[in-house]
Amino acid sequence: MSSDTCEIVVIGAGLSGLIATSTLGRLGIDVICCDEKKPANGCLDDNRVTAFLGSSIDLLKEAVDWQSIERQARPLKNMRIVDSSADHDSQSFCADMIGEKEFGFALPNHILIKALKKQISSFPNTKIQSGAKMVRQLPRLSEIIVTLEGDETHHIRADLAVAADGGNSALRSLAGIATRGFGFHQKSLGFNVAHSEPHGDETVEIYAAGGPFTLVPIENTGESFASSCVWMTNNREAERLMALSDEDFVAEANRRSLGQRGTLRLTGVRKMWPAFAQLADRFIAERVVLIGEAAHMVPPIGAQGMNMTMADIAELRRLVSAGRDHLAAPRVLSRYHQSRYGAVLTRMTAIMALNWMSAIDNGAIHHFRQKGLSFFANTPFLRNPLMRMGMWQFEMTHLN
């Protein structure tokens, strides 16, 4: 049996947990990040790409040495929505419409996770505890005790515990926080492709029955142009697609992409996961705060999921920087919940509505979708504020 003490313990060492740990560590907070996996497992097989928009980039630059990963970061300058039900009618949204050089940047997960772990190891006040699963949490008047089970039992005493352990969060469950789920009978397929036509730093979302097909630009591979793809479709079709050979799957992907990037070629493994929404009943408990998918999950549309997480971390950072002597005071935790819950619920509702409109196979809805997108794209006083909202312009409290 062993033990540690710190100010904040972060449960979960995915992107959200590592970014939270590094961000809080830069404030001088003593942080331990708990990773259920052993270091040897790593994340090198994670071929996913994450888009960080607007203020999320500012926060990311505090969490990681940006110069070390900037060459792998692809700017996202344009967004084009193609409606396959309307003669491939498309509408473009460009960052320069709102006076920006880009909406954000796309980064490979494995590159970012490696850089975050390096940054965390460089701080004298942060560390990653690997290879142990959290099994108990005990909040007390002056501390919370988190128990990990691995090769041995390990106790961590902290002022505050942050749940960053995903949609099936153990910490959230042990803290007695229930969730509400919203199923869409859809799955998401993720894979990377090389293609014959340049992407021009443009993201493309192609709407069709079943869900959107999204191509996000990434750094070129050798002599080929490259993109990361997320393909949402109904459960039965997704299972059928995953069962295909690589050759047949690429043929289906080329048909579904409508030639938007020329000819596609698969460059890695395919992965599949269920697409649904989930919302925790509350984002706090005694000495516990939820961030990321432990608090909220949404379908992969418009790069909103991770950027909601970044807003969670920015708010946590703001409250912590305002007074580390009362990190877990009820009034502080209440402010976090009040700040984030309503904002998340509003955005989740919009994302779920957009997913429904993009996936439904109904002629009247298709017509409404086409006309609505055209009106929105050509009405600047509506378009520009909503584009800025989609870019995640949240307040940053700057360090001294």
Show the tokens assigned to 149: 């089970």
- For the entire predicted model, the pTM comes to 0.92
- At residue 400, the pLDDT reads 39
Task: Give the DSSP H/E element, type plus range, for residue 388.
Answer: helix 380-390
Question: How do beta strands 224-234 and 160-163 pair?
Answer: unpaired
One-letter identity of residue 318:
R
pLDDT of residue 88: 67
* Closest by Cα among 399, 396, 400 to 59: 396
What is the pLDDT at residue 244? 97
Predicted local distance difference test score (pLDDT) of residue 42: 46
Per-residue pLDDT of the chain (400 residues; tens, 9 = 90+): 889 999 999 999 999 999 999 999 999 999 999 999 877 544 455 778 999 999 999 999 999 999 999 999 999 999 998 987 756 678 888 999 999 999 999 999 999 999 999 999 999 999 999 999 999 999 999 999 999 998 899 999 999 999 999 999 999 999 999 999 998 899 999 999 999 999 999 999 998 888 899 999 998 767 679 999 999 999 999 999 999 999 999 999 999 999 999 999 999 899 999 988 999 999 999 999 999 999 999 998 878 899 999 999 999 999 998 887 888 899 999 999 999 999 999 999 988 888 887 777 676 766 777 777 777 778 888 788 878 777 656 555 544 3
Q: Domains of the chain (ranges plus CATH)?
A: 2-72+109-181+276-360 (3.50.50.60)
Report d(CA 102, CA 57) in Å as an integer.
11
Sign of the C-alpha dihedral computed for residues 67, 225, 197 and 85 taken in this order: negative
- Burial degree of 101 (CB within 10 A; 0-12, 13-18, 19+): exposed
Q: Return all residues near 395 (Cβ < 8 A) that are at least 6 apart.
A: 55, 314, 318
111: its two tokens: 């590159």
Res 285: pLDDT: 97
Task: Provide the pairing of β-strand 284-285 with 288-290.
Answer: antiparallel
Amino acid 303 reads A
